[in-house]
Chain A
Amino acid sequence: MAKTLFDKIWDRHVVRELPDGTSLIYIDRHLVHEVTSPQAFEGLRLTGRKVRHPELTFSTMDHNVPTDDTRLTIKDPISKAQVEALETNCKENGIHLYGIGDDHQGIVHVIGPEMGITVPGLTLVCGDSHTSTHGAFGTLAFGIGTSEVEHVLATQTLRQKKPKTFKVEYTGKLSPHVHSKDMVLKLIGIIGTAGATGSVFEFCGEAVEALSMEARMTICNMAIEGGAKAGLIAPDQTTIDYVLAEDRPFVPKGEELEKAIEEWKKLPSDPDAKFDRTLVIDASKIAPQVSWGTSPGMVIDVDLPVPGLDDVPGYSAGDVQKALDYMGLEAGQALADCKLDTVFIGSCTNSRIEDLRRAAKVLDGKKKADHIKLLVVPGSQQVRKQAEAEGLDKIFTAAGAEWRWAGCSMCLAMNPDKLAPQERCASTSNRNFEGRQGAGGRTHLVSPEMAAAAAVAGHFVDIRTWNGGN
């Protein structure tokens, strides 16, 4: 029978079908960070269980860490205790840790691919919903809660019900200045934040094949914002070139690598494979996207007015009103009329080197608007190093930006980077929930290029027709 990419990965990992209708699935990689793991390690301690495969478990600190020069000495005692707990837990259990001050520290979903921890055909989990990022490699990657983190630590497996498959085909070519961030925001605008619940996306089509690995990661990163369990993209030559490039210490070597590549090449969905659901989107018609509300599904083309109460499919008039009130917007208003306070370029969605290059290209030789606070936070210390080697940091600081160390930063504002109540932010992150970037803060999700242009203009502009602020 013809199989999808998802079926092939799933079948390769079933340890056994269980009598209760679930499957016991083997987990190849377990990524761990400071926030969702301490209670899991404590659970092991209480039950006297051991980490089954420390060598398949990788850990870093990202959510909590300051990204300014104070990063090595966390002032917040509760954050500090959490970071120290991870250090102790990793040491006691022999787990790889890229802690604060380490050259490879960074956002867990940035360092996984960077270090070759993520390769095609795996199952990969992490106590973090944006684990879907790693699906860009054709690896089944999904977020889990802390009880499941403990389950994976103890057994290297999970009990799972087989999800459904949802193919999203992007036909045609993207217009200039339109990026994978816009592709995924557009999709969520169509299906809503629950539209893919219980499913695994497979993103495919001409526009997806044309994307770099980093751009693919941006799409898969936000699969969860459409409610999906995971997002997948079939591995191809772009994937293999990425995996083989530079120094990725955990990528298999020699004969093992050759054997692995043979297997990876068999992963793409068979031509006649059936999906439970299919959606086709014409990529050539996608405009730069800006979210206007408090859910990633509340998103519009940059040149459209803020919608009215009855104009948002999937949301009740009451919910739209609540979102407009929270965001301080009125139906019919142009997004260009919203004065911004902060621009945040970073997060596991858009903090990789290509994202920074795109933002730098827009900012090169320009200054941010006076009233804007501009924060550029690389996804990993390696991304930071690379950006500095290319002189991007000079462009950012000359434009008036704060150039930071690696971490999640203002995406979820667990560290000191946060919005004040009613501050309005153009953000390259993934969630515009109420209070996400700080209690009362107002988040608009955009691509790095749109964010950089908004920093110069002081408000949103249509990057396709913007004159560069001249």
Chain B
Amino acid sequence: MEAFTTHRGILAPLDRANVDTDQIIPKQFLKSIARTGFGPSAFFDWRYVLNGDVNPDFELNAPRYEKRSLLVTRNNFGCGSSREHAVWALAQDGYKVIIAPYRGEGDDYIPGFADIFKNNCSKNGVVTIELSEAEVETIFKAVYGEEGLEATVDLENQKLTLHGESEVTFDFEYDPSVKNKLLKGLDDIEESLLYLDDIKEFETKHATWIHQ
């Protein structure tokens, strides 16, 4: 996996909550046995009209976002199907960072990202940043207010900076194990195989309850 340290790019908005992975990459593209080629199909049903033309009403199709590499959206992004193709599609369509708000606390807590999606992002070098609803609202306003607004993500220091007329910086939390992996571009399997002796030892005394 390619390491992620810092990234500066143009921000684009997707003002919807609960965007599911069926929307990010519809089923017809899941028939591929390759890991590449998904980029042009990201958000397919919104991005194109039925005859295949680009849908001018879909906000990410606006020319001002053509060169975007950061996405700001609403909560529970990536819910539903476990398809990693959704992350491949976003990454191959140029997104390196996705920002979404968490909401509430305790029993009312709603996360920015769905679990499996977030985990899949971490395997593909895509950074998922969760901020408060108020902070994300500020980012939406800034994106709508200024064409070509750029932002920088500094993963090491967990800072997101908007380079608008006046610079604004947000601090974000990041799971230390995922952060370390992203910063170094580590391969999970290689890391886990360092513990092969532990796995072998475990297998000698663990019952898997199967009849062979």
Contact = CB atoms under 8 A, between A and B. Distances in A.
Interface of A: 12-13, 15-16, 18, 20-22, 24, 26, 28-29, 35-36, 38-39, 42, 47, 49, 55-56, 63-64, 76, 78-79, 81-82, 85, 116-117, 119, 121-122, 127-129, 143-148, 150-151, 154-157, 159, 161, 192-195, 197-198, 224, 227, 229, 249-253, 256, 259-260, 263, 277, 295, 314-316, 318-319, 322, 412-414, 421, 431, 433-436, 439-440
Interface string B67-84: 000000001100111111
A147 B210 CA distance: 26
29 contacts: A22-B177, A24-B198, A26-B199, A26-B206, A35-B31, A39-B33, A39-B34, A129-B80, A143-B82, A148-B123, A151-B189, A161-B175, A193-B76, A194-B18, A195-B110, A227-B115, A252-B209, A253-B211, A259-B207, A319-B17, A319-B18, A412-B27, A412-B81, A414-B27, A431-B81, A433-B80, A434-B45, A439-B26, A439-B50
Interface of B: 15-18, 20, 22-23, 26-28, 30-35, 45, 50, 75-76, 79-85, 87, 107, 109-111, 114-116, 119-120, 123-124, 175-177, 180-181, 188-189, 191-193, 195-196, 198-199, 202-203, 206-212
Contacts of A413: 27
Contacts of B114: 194, 197, 227
Interface centre among B23, B82, B107, B192 (most CB of A within 10 A): B82
A81 B33 CA distance: 8
Main secondary structure of the interface of A (DSSP, over half): loop
A431 B27 CA distance: 13
B189 A49 contact: yes
Given A35-B31, A128-B82, A147-B124, A435 B22 contact: yes
A152 B181 CA distance: 18
A417 to B, nearest CB: 12
Contact of A116 (B181, B193, B211): B211
B198 A20 contact: no
B208 A122 contact: yes
A35 B30 contact: yes
Given A35-B83, A263-B207, 11 more contacts: A26-B199, A63-B30, A119-B209, A129-B82, A151-B189, A155-B192, A155-B196, A156-B203, A159-B188, A252-B210, A439-B50
Contacts of A64: 31
Contacts of B209: 28, 119, 121-122, 252, 256, 260
A127 B85 CA distance: 11
Contact of B22 (A151, A322, A431): A431
Contacts of B192: 24, 151, 154-155, 157, 159
Contacts of A20: 176-177, 180-181
A145 B82 contact: yes
Given A56-B208, A116-B211, A433-B20, A193 B33 contact: no
Nearest to B87: A145
B208 A28 contact: yes
Contact of A252 (B82, B111, B189, B211): B211
A192 B108 CA distance: 10
